[in-house]
Amino acid sequence: MITFADFEKVEIRVGRIVSVDDYPAARKPSYKLVVDFGENIGLKKSIAQLVSNYNKDELKDKYVMAVVNFPPRQIGPSKSEVLVVGVPDESGDCILISPDTDVPLGGKLY
């Protein structure tokens, strides 16, 4: 079991996807995302397995939640700098967690 202090260390912040590209270098079908977290954090890359539930047009400009303070993770030739978060659908594929209204970029989940 973790403590509240442990939870506070995880920075889950709001970002907006500004670009989406296919990423065939991943083992499972994935996209390479660039996510804008606002002035303080800036643009970050994420490799995300979202192909089953989203096309590129659906993802462009979508607000998402992401962990921004994990170390970068090498996925094929690129590094994923943030972990975009979601929950599994009935098939185990990712459904993104997204604010349902526009909110300031970089806002921290609490």
Structural domains of the chain sorted by starting position, each given as residue range(s) with its CATH number in brackets: 11-96 (2.40.50.140)
Q: What is the predicted pLDDT for the residue at 110?
A: 87
Q: What is the predicted pLDDT for the residue at 21?
A: 98
Q: What is the predicted pLDDT for the residue at 102?
A: 87
Which portions of the chain are predicted below pLDDT 50?
Answer: none
**Which are the contacts of 59, defined by CB distance < 8 A and separation ≥ 6?**
17, 20, 31, 33, 50
In the beta sheet, which residues pair with residue 88? Answer: 94
pTM for the model:
0.94
Q: What is the predicted pLDDT for the residue at 36?
A: 98
